[in-house]
Amino acid sequence: MFMIPKDARITLDPEEIPKQWYNLAADLPDLKPPLNPATGKPATAEDFATIFCKPIIEQEASTKRFIDIPEEVRDNLIFLNRPAPMQRAYHLEKFLKTPAKIYFKREDMSPLGSHKGNTALAQAYYNAEAGIHMLTTETGAGQWGTALSMVSNLFDIDTTVFMVKGSYNQKPFRRTLMEMYGAKCYASPSEYTDFGKRILKEHPDTTGSLGIAISEACEMAAKDEHTCYALGSVMNHVMLHQTTIGLESMLQMEKADITPDYMIACAGGGSNFAGFTFPMMYEKIRGKSECQIIAAEPKASPSLTEGEFKYDFGDTAGMTPMIMMYTLGHDFIPKSIHAGGLRYHGMSPLVSAAYDQGLMTAKSYDQPDTFHAGVTFARTEGIVPAPESCHAIKAAIDTALECKARNEEKTIVFCLSGHGFLDLYGYQQYMDGTLPSSSIDE
């Protein structure tokens, strides 16, 4: 029987929600700009203008270190259960018999089920300000699509979501949820775009990919002037909006006198990872921290650990500018895994640059091992983690066990990106022993 210490949960007041986002682009030297694939020259605002509204384009290119969070966005963050608590995984520590302390930041408490609302809210706000009536987007696991579908309601914007077919079929209730929130949700590749039709003709049995879904959403946005495209990860402005997570975490750690030796988050396109760790990278860059920052990615789509750092397209059709990132190639179609949010061929350019410059490391994990970590977490901490979050948990558990082997009282802080109540099919497969390896090597 355990006694939970009173400081097991570190909360903040609503007034302590950050007033500014942190922009890592201000502090990374030699960032390579996106290129126009036709000219081979740096992409201009016009190259983005068919799919993004002006304030988003400006933010994307900004190298200002701190950017004000609009009052309308900040106030509505309360509604996403911000500020989010940081909690000590006291029961998990006991179970592992580790001398390490384990803390986690709780993005699972958003009513939208994940951290995705943080940027959805900002993007919906800027698009509404710019007079946009409809947003198109892609979604992998469904977390991003869910977030945008709901948040758009607050700004009278309609939403159309292209959901990767593998996830669409695996997670029918994600569609229910998006439709409940009033959005249209199509399995991608779909019949609703020219690119979707082409892929369906060439690969009728494909389970789709984020790259394909992005192409479809961009195509639809480009065709109508009051429609814009919203992306849930990868791009600089998304990373920026997500730093709310890390800025809150830094304040919580300061208040509770926590000096992390390790900060860990899962990484697919990079938004949860960036949001959680970029404020700590700022400390590292300034020589104020020696924290080890670790990205946990899936073996099914290991862009950091097995990809190449080069210019590539963000989507499969090659409609986006070329971006400098770690990539498995824009035509890479990963295996269908439950952590649909991590199934992307590339990695955020900012995260890629940070990785290239040695500010962080990365590890990749196979699907069954991450579900094992997720069940361990559920039995000890009572929380069912999203399959994406299970990657961070797996990395945190491994790190804690290394600390145990070396008898080191280190402090590990990871980000729980979302809950897994809509992913129980995957857990059932894991418990039934029917969950396959997802490694690209197998």
By CB under 8 A, name the binding residues for its own copies.
1-6, 8-9, 11, 13-15, 71-72, 75-76, 78-81, 91, 108-109, 111-113, 125, 128, 150-151, 153-156, 172-173, 176-177, 179-182, 375, 378-384, 419, 421-422, 424-425, 427-428, 431
Distance CA 117, CA 355 (A): 26
Between 91 and 198, CB nearer to its own copies: 91
CB of 414 to its own copies, least distance (A): 16
Rounded to the nearest 10 degrees, the angle between the axes of helix 271-285 and helix 349-356 is 40
Beta strand ranges found along 251-291 (DSSP E): 262-266
Maximum CA extent, the chain? 66
CA 85 vs CA 131, 254, 417, 430: distances in Å: 35, 14, 12, 29
CB of 334 to its own copies, least distance (A): 25
CA 180 vs CA 88, 183, 204: distances in Å: 34, 7, 29
Looking at residue 304, what DSSP letter applies? H
| Residue labelled with tokens 């989010």 | 84
Between 219 and 381, CB nearer to its own copies: 381
Structure token digits, residue 45: 């605002």
Between 45 and 180, CB nearer to its own copies: 180
CB of 61 to its own copies, least distance (A): 26
CB of 175 to its own copies, least distance (A): 8
Between 13 and 46, CB nearer to its own copies: 13
Between 150 and 296, CB nearer to its own copies: 150
CB of 66 to its own copies, least distance (A): 22
Distance CA 194, CA 6 (A): 57
CB of 132 to its own copies, least distance (A): 13
CA 441 vs CA 176, 298, 303, 435: distances in Å: 35, 12, 14, 16
Between 252 and 303, CB nearer to its own copies: 252
CB of 111 to its own copies, least distance (A): 4
Between 155 and 414, CB nearer to its own copies: 155
Between 14 and 42, CB nearer to its own copies: 14
Between 241 and 363, CB nearer to its own copies: 241
Residues with Cβ within 8 Å of 103's Cβ and at least 6 positions away in sequence, in order, are 10, 86, 87, 88, 89, 253, 258, 260, 411, 412, 413, 414
Pairing of strands 20-22, 66-68: antiparallel
CB of 370 to its own copies, least distance (A): 14
Between 81 and 206, CB nearer to its own copies: 81
User: What totals of helices (H) and strands (E) does the chain contain, helices first?
Assistant: 17, 15
Distance CA 344, CA 213 (A): 11
CB of 368 to its own copies, least distance (A): 15
Distance CA 442, CA 427 (A): 21
Between 80 and 359, CB nearer to its own copies: 80
| Residue labelled with tokens 């996830």 | 167
CB of 379 to its own copies, least distance (A): 6
Query: ∠ CA(411), CA(417), CA(421), 5° rounding?
Result: 125
Distance CA 131, CA 379 (A): 47
CB of 184 to its own copies, least distance (A): 13
Looking at residue 14, what DSSP letter applies? G
Question: Is the four-CA dihedral 340, 120, 195, 188 of positive or negative sign?
Answer: positive
Rounded to the nearest 10 degrees, the angle between the axes of helix 349-356 and helix 236-255 is 60
